Amino acid sequence: MSEVTKKSQAIFSEKSHPLDMSSKARTFDIAVIGGGIAGKACALGLAQLGFQTIQIAPGLDQSTPLPQGTTWGQRIYAFSPSTQKLLAHLQIWDALDHSRMQAVQDMRIFGDRGEQNDQLHLSSFEAGTTQLAWIGESSLIEHTLDQAAKFQNKLERLSDSATTIHTDESGAILTLKNTPSIHALLVVAADGANSPIRSKIGIEASEESYGQNAVVANWLCSNSHLETAYQWFLSGGDILAMLPLPNKQVSMVWSTSPDNAAKLMTADQSTWTEIFSKIAHGALFEKLGHLTLNSAPASFPLNKIRAERFIGPEINPKVALVGDAAHVMHPLAGQGLNLGLRDVSVLLKVLKQREAFRIPSDPVLLRRYERQRQGDTSSLLWVTDNLKKLFSGTNPAELFLRNFGLGLVNRSHFIKRQLIERALGEIDFE
């Protein structure tokens, strides 16, 4: 028996994953586990590359409804240019209803001392780009990905959950909750922050709670938002972002203590008006005018997660992690999904450019994927984490440093340019 087989049997008990299941299992080149945007985009891209692909997740038998009308969905994201490039590559971008997306021309970030100079202004004009980002609904992207999947004959979608995974030299056998097992040469785990596949193949992940929840809601504003994304760092560590949407709407992401989040979730319109009037000495009202609630609020606990490896098992890997299965970050930079979609872009590129003799689970390819994703992930997690910590600190040195720092960066075109380049996220497919 080879070293590799010994190792895989040491990790997975033969009793719970009988090897003879593989003889009955249907075989695919690649199985993608997860039905979020990362899983949907990845499965579509792999099928477009010609791999016989199966995507497995609960609810995949129902297409996400197309968002319509004047009320925008609760899950709103900032999409970076790297995400736009991937969606264009997948032939999705032009099929989106662009009247439901808002291009962002400016970002204005304010410190928590209330001083005029404690602010950072990033603009598409200064950056030499047509926009810094787009703001839109998760459901709009998901609906369009669902439509494209229907026309992709190399892609099968299965509404089920993966319960166990067993790997050996030939690939992976996935046991499913309600349907027969699947064999695939390669498994892509896009199964979210608590990734069952990640833990089943023994990839450790460091996990830390930020001790905050994000309360999200959409508002109609009486002033024009001027295609600007606003963010206020507030005393006590709260962060309030107001992202522009079409039709004089903004999408709020307020990171705050769980207690305050619970209060915000039950606030009525007049309580919200009172709360907003106090934000940054009235600056929120000054910018956006009167705000009227235009969606039910929702609240999400905030964690940081980083998988130790992006491929596994350690010897003879057969699984690649993408999206939140690999990393979860604070939403203050609006980059979690964008980073996950850069995982997808890189995986597609590595597989597209593979040497003709390599199968998709060739360890050389998987190591290329992992190597290429580590730098981007580490630096973005480091920056968001440290910004979060710096703006939560209570000592006077931190108060001075963060506020002075904003103004300092604002005066340096060089640093601003670097920041914008990071936020835009370079990606190409050739």
Ligand X SMILES: Cc1cc2nc3c(=O)[nH]c(=O)nc-3n(C[C@H](O)[C@H](O)[C@H](O)COP(=O)(O)OP(=O)(O)OC[C@H]3O[C@@H](n4cnc5c(N)ncnc54)[C@H](O)[C@@H]3O)c2cc1C
Chain residues binding ligand X by CB under 6 A are 33-39, 56-58, 77-78, 161-162, 190-192, 196, 214, 216, 253, 300, 323-324, 331, 334-338, 340
Exposure string over 141-172, b if 16+ CB within 10 A, otherwise e = bbbbbbebbeebebbbbbebbbebbbbbeebb
Residue closer to ligand X, measured from CB, 118 or 148: 148
167: its two tokens: 């790997």
The least distance separating ligand X from the CB of residue 27, rounded to whole angstroms, comes to 19
In the complex, the smallest distance separating the C-beta of residue 36 from ligand X, rounded to whole angstroms, is 2
How many CA atoms does the CB half-sphere of 181 hold within 13 Å?
21
| Euclidean distance between CA atoms 255 and 148, whole angstroms | 35
CB of 38 to ligand X, least distance (A): 3
Report CA 223 to chain centroid distance, whole Å.
Answer: 30
| Minimum CB–partner distance for residue 188 and ligand X (Å) | 11
CB of 331 closer than 8 Å to CB of 231: no
Task: Please report where in the chains the tokens 């021309």 appear, as a residue.
Answer: 105
Distance, CA of 350 to CA of 73 (rounded, Å): 34
Task: Give 51 or 210: the residue with its C-beta nearer to ligand X.
Answer: 210
**What span, in angstroms and rounded, lies between the C-alpha atoms of 287 and 396?**
28
Q: Which residues contact 211 (CB under 8 A, 6 or more apart)?
A: 257, 258
CA atoms within 13 A on the CB side of 179: 13
Which residue number, 221 or 326, has a Cβ lying nearer to ligand X? Answer: 326
Rounded CA-CA distance 371/368 in Å is: 5
In this structure, are residues 203 and 327 in contact, taking their beta carbons and an 8 Å threshold? no
Q: What's the closest the beta carbon of residue 75 comes to ligand X, in angstroms?
A: 7
Secondary structure letter of residue 71 according to DSSP: S
Burial (0-12, 13-18, 19+ Cβ within 10 Å), 121: middle
Shortest approach of ligand X to residue 162 CB, angstroms? Answer: 4
- Of 156 and 191, nearer to ligand X (C-beta) is 191
- In the bound state with ligand X, the residue whose beta carbon lies nearer, of 158 and 409, is 158
Q: How far apart are the first and last CA of the chain?
A: 40
Q: What is the largest CA-CA distance in the chain?
A: 72
Q: By the 8 A CB rule, do 102 and 246 touch? A: yes
Least Å distance, CB 191 to ligand X, is 4
Nearest CB to ligand X, comparing residues 5 and 74: 74
Strand partners, 27: 183
Q: How far is the CB of 97 from ligand X (least distance, A)?
A: 19
